[in-house]
Amino acid sequence: MKKYQEFKQVQYPEIGENILAFWKANQIFEKSVESREGSQTFTFYEGPPSANGTPGIHHVMARTIKDVFCRYKTLRGFQVKRKGGWDTHGLPVELQVEKDLGITKDDIGKSISVEEYNQKCRETVMRYKNEWDDLTEKIGYWVDLDDPYITFDAKYVETLWYLLKKLYDKDLLYKGYTIQPYSPAAGTGLSSHELNQPGCYRDVKDTSITAQFKVKGEVDTYILAWTTTPWTLPSNSALAVGEKLDYVKVKTFNPYTFEPETVILARERMAGYFNPKAADISLEAYNPGDKLIPYKVLVTVKGTDLLGLAYEPLFPIETLALPHPAFTVITADYVTTEDGTGIVHLAKAFGADDFRTLVQQNVPGIFVKDELGNDIPIVDKKGKFIPVVGEYLLAKMKEHGIYGHKELGVDDFYVKNYPKDDEANPDYKSTDVIISIILKNENKAFKVEKYEHSYPHCWRTDMPILYYPMESWFIKTTAYKDKLVAHNKTINWKPEATGTGRFGNWLENLVDWNLSRSRFWGTPLPIWRTEDGSETLCIGSISELEAGIADAISKGFMEKSPYEGKEVDLHRPYVDDVVLASPSGQRMFRETDLIDVWFDSGAMPYAQWHYPFENQEIFEANYPADFIAEGVDQTRGWFFTLHTLSVMLFDSISFKNVIANGLVLDKNGNKMSKRLGNAVDPFKTLKEYGPDALRWYMLSNANPWDNLKFNEEGVAEVQRRFFGTLQNTYNFFALYANLDHFTYDTERAIPVNERPELDRWIISKLQSLIQDVEKSLDHYDATPATRVIMNYTVDQLSNWYVRLARKRFWRGDMNPDKQAAYETLYECLQTISQLMSPVAPFYAEWLYQNLTAGAREEGQDLATSVHLTNWQAANQDWIQDDLETSMKLAQDISSLVHSLRKKERLKVRQPLQKILIPVLSEKRKAQIQHVEELILSEVNIKAIDYIDDTSGILVKSIKPNFALLGKKYGPQMKLVSQKIQGWGKDEIAVIEQEGKIQISIGSNQVDILLEETLISSQDIPGWSVATESGLTVALDVTVTEVLKQEGIARDLVNRIQNLRKDMGLDVQDKIHITLANQSEEIDTAIRAFSEYIQTETQALELTFVRELPEGTLLDMDEFELTVLVEKV
RNA sequence: GGGCCUGUAGCUCAGGUGGUUAGAGCGCUACACUGAUAAUGUAGAGGUCCGUGGUUCGAGUCCACGCAGGCCCA
């Protein structure tokens, strides 16, 4: 019976399916976790995917990385639990449902109840779960899908509430403002997603103003700032310059009032404001009304020089007056000289940048108090100026005689959106225009013009949006900035730059985390407030909520609990129906916001275990994670929220090692998209190539943090080159092992040190390989690991070991030499199966099963699966550096001889007399002699002559070791180099004997040491020579009569072997050879080597005849020969 | 606009701390092998190391400024 299954054809996808079934039937994954019970844990956190969309090829990448290290750590003896999870809340789910139902956000709560809507979301969110599970299985990603955490689960949400309350209790949760797109026409905020709808950005012509801000304490000096939204000018409270930019003070005249004045703007922006034709006109020559306005640069200063400059507000409205440092010049890093004046007008309420900059620099903004004492901007939610401003504008209109198309009241100044009929009137003046005219009249405008730009519009009302302060709940992450930065430095990031650069910079420029989302399907903010906002309550658990409800019912605020008769669901609308009682007995309503879904996923270390309500010990044993991996796009997503929550709440990191992988692009480097049709379907690829080649390709092609240009041909190449070669090697082993009835048995194996040298060599290389793989995987570097395994398998094992050892497998009966060969090859294959198993789990398993099946039948006690084995550490005693060096020399020398043969057109079948190898040391000579036989047979040469100093023909040359000498002599290196390269054989002999030579550099005498030079051998005159990396080989190209004969004999053997094969003969079949007489020369050659020919071709007889009509005519390159081969 | 990544042979990628012939695989060309055979081996050709400046005795490598592609954030 065959102990090792042989395969003609291998179907890799089939291997995947069979092994998957094997794992399932034998519960290998479960066992790989259970069998490590009590061992040290290796904690992995699964970043939850959303099953709302179908999985793509990039998910194969991400999940392969996760899987590789979990499997590796298992082999290394750790217990690796992998709890799966699903991300179930958020905007994508809601949009999907809106699309499915053909509704918009407005309809929710109207044509469909929130309850029904959320039910729909709950159903939709797992829509593609089956596809996900299918992919997870098929790519061999081992993760526990039976007991995953699900973010919409009431227990999960309860933990989120607990964490939110913890933040609230630490005073880290507050209500504030953020500047967001707002549609005054629709009366609602817009998400960035809504703003990205096609058609939202439109080219519109707006009135733009370059306003003049009068500098305090200087005569007629003005700072120029440009805006496309003049209505924000009354809200101006600061001007920003760029620190490093150059600014000029220019003496000129106002083009509207013709007043002489000095203006300040960026030097690079002068071309936008001054006509070069006016450059030569003197200031004195100017007459009011002249088209060309002369100008003169007075002085150039840096932005920093303007810092702190105070100016007068454009609209001196008393109720809007502000204390210092309002109305001063500040700096901001985003100021450029691309347009405008290089000086930016800041209105705290109406620009996100403005708001952030002014908050950071503690500059107050223009706001008024509402009836509750809250700050509100001077444009109301309908998009109109508040009456205070309206009054001012009306007074100014009267003063300057400005008339619109109708009588305006104090409450009629819309800043952006107006009833449409208004614009048709020729006398129509927008608020922007009115402001422009006022400023022109008051010598406060330097330039007013129509400006066409792209501006966002509300997709529902078609009206322009405003950037407007919206109330939001924030987590005060900025309070923990230092700790976040410090803790981050203890995390091992792969690649490092993502941790220091992308993530590190993000932490350095931290802003408070805006938690609020005004949507329906998500974790509700557990905050209740009294209507006047004076009392606030944060609920941290279900029991707290229930107690609150009971209390509220007893006080008559609620009739009954929304949860009466059913399970508690913390989603909307139920929580919205809860009205609580405040300590002072007022009604409290929930703040309607949901929280950012990133909070959901960032809280998974706690929420997945329902901490602290359950599983406290499990949580503690699995926190922080040893390892996580996701795409680099998660830097500000999951990586950030995980980090932030753990630092703020537990003063700890939440992951120790992280791989941030890059994107998977198409083969041309373009982003994959379903719309463009260049997306690769993972299922199709799996079906064609199976999981292993795909996984191997993705990790071996490039480091995972570089973007991967996914090319199917690359997968095919990996399959052919690596898996194909490995498979061939196994098949070779199986073929002969079965013929010889060999079964591997550790107990009976010949000790490694008693095996032939070739065996000891490949085993030595194997130990080095194990060490290399270990080192790579320990450092979360999978790519080098795959590459060294591939190199070992293809170049060392298959192309060298198997080729050289081939004869040992087929020659004769079982003997110790043969046994050693089997054992060696078996051990190499088995070790490879273990080393490769994290990356190619299916094929590795298959190989392992094929290798061990026979032994297991014989009753040997072997692990059921390669994934249940323990890592076989390298055996240091088996590593033989000298042997590895010798073998490397053999490989290099063979390669050089092949190269020479090629050059001389001497085929390998033609034996040659000798090669010459110059050796510079006894050691080197010994190393080559060690493998001399091997080289000779490999390249079909009779002898090697070593040329050393005693031979008299060795010519040495010397050159400086730049790396060593450069450090020592630096600038004098050129001189030193010249001296050394000028040396001949006498100097070389001296330095070789004395170890040094004194030379003079300038006036100094210095010693050049032997080790500071590199001595190599030169070409050998009259010989065909090849040199590579310090190794030189010369070939004796003389073909003597005897050699020629042997060449002919070898050629004949080759032709006869071909004939045997063509005839379909078996390996053991014997033959008769009949040859037609040819020339004297050929006959002599064949007779001389007849014994050799017969042995090689298994011929019992070799006869010559005169005529051979039924023979085959052979082309022997230089002549022809008729031969007849007959089976005996 | 900002931060970060990438750019080396036709393609995919290696090239610690700067050191004098810049490598591998695939592809291509040629040859060899024919008892691993729908397999395999060997050799050869192929380079503006994205560009421009700079530092240095010496730069693919360090610095500056650009260019191209990508990601994230505005």
Q: Which positions on strand B lie below 7 Å from a protein C-beta?
A: 1-6, 11-14, 19-21, 25-26, 31-37, 39-44, 56-58, 69-74
- State which residue has its Cα closest to the C1' atom of B57: A971
Catalytic, A634? Answer yes
How far apart (Å, rounded) are the C-alpha atoms in residues A285 and A306?
A: 30
Q: C1' nearest to CA of A703: which nucleotide?
A: B13
Q: CA A336 – C1' B68 distance (Å)?
A: 23
The pLDDT score that the predictor gives to residue A549 is 95
The pLDDT score that the predictor gives to residue A1019 is 67
Torsion of CA A269, A273, A275, A278, to 10 degrees: -100
How far apart (Å, rounded) are the C-alpha atoms in residues A270 and A245?
A: 13
How far apart (Å, rounded) are the C-alpha atoms in residues A429 and A465?
A: 20
Catalytic, A87? Answer yes
| Token pair of A866 as six digits | 């390669």
The pLDDT score that the predictor gives to residue A1021 is 65
- C-alpha distance across the termini of chain A, in Å: 29
How far apart (Å, rounded) are the C-alpha atoms in residues A396 and A385?
A: 15
CA atoms within 13 A on the CB side of A970: 1
A338 touches strand B (CB under 7 A): yes
- State which residue has its Cα closest to the C1' atom of B5: A706
Q: Are strands A513-514 and A466-475 parallel, antiparallel or unpaired?
A: antiparallel
How far apart (Å, rounded) are the C-alpha atoms in residues A970 and A977?
A: 11
A91 touches strand B (CB under 7 A): no
Q: CA A981 – C1' B54 distance (Å)?
A: 30
Q: Which of residues 699-718 of A touch strand B (CB under 7 A)?
A: 701-703, 705-709, 711, 713-714, 717
| Token pair of A391 as six digits | 């009054």
The pLDDT score that the predictor gives to residue A196 is 64
Q: C1' nearest to CA of A800: which nucleotide?
A: B41
Determine which one of A671, A687, A903, A968 is catalytic.
A671
- Burial pattern A599-615, b for ≥16 Cβ within 10 A else e, equals bbbbbbbbbbbbbeeee
How far apart (Å, rounded) are the C-alpha atoms in residues A422 and A958?
A: 93
Task: Report cis status (omega within 30 of 0) of the bond before A573.
Answer: yes
Q: CA A1024 – C1' B22 distance (Å)?
A: 26
Query: Which stretches of chain A score pLDDT less than 50?
Result: none
By three-state DSSP, how is residue A790 classified? Answer: helix
Q: CA A912 – C1' B36 distance (Å)?
A: 28
A324 touches strand B (CB under 7 A): no
How far apart (Å, rounded) are the C-alpha atoms in residues A347 and A987?
A: 81
Identify the sign of the CA torsion A517, A520, A526, A528: positive
Torsion of CA A639, A640, A643, A647, to 10 degrees: 180
Q: Which of residues 990-1049 of A touch strand B (CB under 7 A)?
A: 1027-1028
Q: C1' nearest to CA of A896: which nucleotide?
A: B43
Q: Please provide the DSSP assignment of A474-538 as one string.
A: EE-GGGGHHHHHHHHTTSEEESHHIIIIIIHHHHHT---EE-EE--SSSPBP-EEEETTS--EEE
Q: CA A486 – C1' B48 distance (Å)?
A: 45
How far apart (Å, rounded) are the C-alpha atoms in residues A889 and A911?
A: 21
How far apart (Å, rounded) are the C-alpha atoms in residues A303 and A332?
A: 10
Determine which one of A638, A696, A705, A761 is catalytic.
A638
| Token pair of A731 as six digits | 């098949």
A1057 touches strand B (CB under 7 A): yes
Q: CA A710 – C1' B8 distance (Å)?
A: 20
Number of Cβ atoms within 10 Å of the Cβ of A747? 5
Catalytic, A432? Answer no
Q: CA A665 – C1' B50 distance (Å)?
A: 21
Catalytic, A155? Answer no
Q: Which of A69, A38, A28, A6 shows the shortest CA–CA distance to A779?
A: A69
3-state helix, strand, coil in chain A (%, to 5): 45, 20, 35
Q: CA A797 – C1' B72 distance (Å)?
A: 45
Number of Cβ atoms within 10 Å of the Cβ of A617? 8
| A229 close to A344: Cβ distance less than 8 angstroms | no
Report yes or no on whether pTM surpasses 0.95.
Answer: no
Q: CA A1105 – C1' B32 distance (Å)?
A: 32
Q: CA A653 – C1' B63 distance (Å)?
A: 35
The pLDDT score that the predictor gives to residue A35 is 94
Q: Which of residues 278-307 of A touch strand B (CB under 7 A)?
A: none
A721 touches strand B (CB under 7 A): yes
Catalytic, A674? Answer yes
Q: Which of residues 626-685 of A touch strand B (CB under 7 A)?
A: 632-633, 635-637, 662-663, 665, 667, 669-671
The pLDDT score that the predictor gives to residue A759 is 92
Which of the 8 DSSP states describes residue A197?
S
Q: CA A702 – C1' B8 distance (Å)?
A: 15
How far apart (Å, rounded) are the C-alpha atoms in residues A167 and A897?
A: 74
- State which residue has its Cα closest to the C1' atom of B35: A1067
Q: Which of residues 107-126 of A touch strand B (CB under 7 A)?
A: none
Catalytic, A280? Answer no
Q: Which of residues 904-943 of A touch strand B (CB under 7 A)?
A: 907-909
The pLDDT score that the predictor gives to residue A193 is 63
How far apart (Å, rounded) are the C-alpha atoms in residues A45 and A638?
A: 11
| A582 close to A535: Cβ distance less than 8 angstroms | yes
How far apart (Å, rounded) are the C-alpha atoms in residues A100 and A612?
A: 38
Q: Which of A1122, A1116, A1120 shows the shortest CA–CA distance to A1048?
A: A1116
Q: Which of residues 247-266 of A touch strand B (CB under 7 A)?
A: none
| Token pair of A964 as six digits | 């060593």
Determine which one of A132, A473, A513, A598 is catalytic.
A598
Catalytic, A671? Answer yes
| A516 close to A472: Cβ distance less than 8 angstroms | yes
The pLDDT score that the predictor gives to residue A1028 is 65
Q: What is the ipTM of this complex?
A: 0.81
By three-state DSSP, how is residue A301 classified? Answer: strand
- State which residue has its Cα closest to the C1' atom of B34: A1058
